[in-house]
Amino acid sequence: MDKLLIHGGARLDGETTVSGAKNAALPILCAALLSAEPVTLTNVPQLQDIATLLRLLGQMGVAVERDADRVTLDASKLDNPLAPYEMVKTMRASILVLGPLMARVGEARVSLPGGCAIGARPVDQHLKGLQAMGAKVAVEHGYIHATVAGGLRGARLFTDMVTVTGTENLMMAACLAKGETVIENAAREPEVVDLANCLVAMGARISGAGTDVIRIHGVERLHGAEHRIMPDRIETGTYLCAAAATGGSIRLTGTSTAYIDAVVDKLLDAGCDIDSERDAIRLTAPARLSAVSIRTAPYPAFPTDMQAQFMAINCVAEGTAVIRETIFENRFMHAVELQRLGAEIRIDGNTAVVTGVDRLEGASVMATDLRASAGLIIAGLVADGETLVDRIYHLDRGYEKLGEKLSQLGARVSRVR
């Protein structure tokens, strides 16, 4: 199993390019199931999760052509609406095939995702919404089996909590339903908007994406389209944090500060200078950051996917920070690993109190999930000596060419077996 070896202490300095957003690409690839015409996507990141989803779509009968960041999907011969356990267990986002399959063929068999390292993560809201649209849903032998006779019907949907993939699944299902669907308490994440933009390009009638009430007027069919995936705001934030922690100065291209206001705000509070260009961001960090407290919440508030990275920068900042995680119940697994590097962190339920120390010391640490791994890498970049991060397959799921990009920025990192 690959590990990442980091020689800490190098100040990040240089330029790299941010890839397309994983969390926009995943639902948008699934949106191709809604049409019998080819959908072409560009700026698709080359990641493990994307490869898994393309394999899953291929098994369903979708013809997939891929050339670097360009992917064309042709779902005209879709004939096997099944997402098997072996795939769903490696990537929970596979649940995103459920809505499109119900809309297009009126049947889906999708494995229940089960738990994951960061919590229970049920999909009850996805199912409740589909049932309100007329679907019959049974859970048998660990599989969701959903069917609808005569097609989905538009409905007024209300989710009990803000759910990103839940909103995306229901929005896709509603595109081909009869009549109007209104999703209340919808997720406002930019990735939901990117998906809506692609669906509109395919002929869907959607308004309100980006607000908490989305209206979808069902149409007979969707046609083919070409769409460019938005930049990855979490990858953007992660490199900004890495530079900030090392007292560095970097420029990120292919991205912008749009959609990361909450993160930029906190980096400014920590003492960084940030210049926003049209398609680039420049960050210059002070020699030592000030501690910044954060509370995760749905967009536009501070993203849970940036929590681990901010815990890492607070480990070496001046002062004490309070970190509150309100989205996932078990998302502090990185804290004990950071403690192995010498961090001072106290956990009480969903709150972590981090007191900055003068220096961290390199050690072997274990990645537990995608974003936790990013936090460990940032800590390794500032720690004295060598840090060996085990289980970096988590990172391969969500960060394109991580080692290469960090090296471009002057970090001393290498992959070891």
| Active-site residue set | 116
d(CA 137, CA 128) in angstroms, rounded, equals 9
Helices (H) and strands (E) in the chain, counts: 14, 24
Give the residue with the Cβ less far from ligand UD1, 8 or 190.
190
Applying CB under 6 A, the residues found at the interface with ligand UD1 are: 23, 26, 93, 119-126, 161, 163-166, 191, 304-305, 327-328
Cβ 1 to ligand UD1 shortest distance, Å:
23
In the chain, % helix, strand, coil (3-state, to 5) comes to 35, 30, 35
Angle at 414 between CA 409 and CA 417, to 5 degrees: 155
Cβ 362 to ligand UD1 shortest distance, Å:
28
Give the residue with the Cβ less far from ligand UD1, 24 or 103.
24
Give the residue with the Cβ less far from ligand UD1, 124 or 261.
124
Cβ 286 to ligand UD1 shortest distance, Å:
29
E strands along 199-330, which residues? 205-207, 213-217, 225-228, 249-253, 273-276, 280-284, 294-295, 320-324
Give the residue with the Cβ less far from ligand UD1, 123 or 379.
123
d(CA 402, CA 389) in angstroms, rounded, equals 13
CB 62 within 8 A of CB 32: yes
Give the residue with the Cβ less far from ligand UD1, 176 or 308.
308
Cβ 398 to ligand UD1 shortest distance, Å:
8
Cβ 106 to ligand UD1 shortest distance, Å:
21
If one counts every other C-beta atom within 10 angstroms of the C-beta of residue 414, the result is 11
Measured N-to-C along each axis, helices 190-201 and 22-31 cross at an angle, to the nearest 10 degrees, of 30
> Which of 77, 88, 19 has its CA nearest to residue 53?
88
- Amino acid found at 343: A
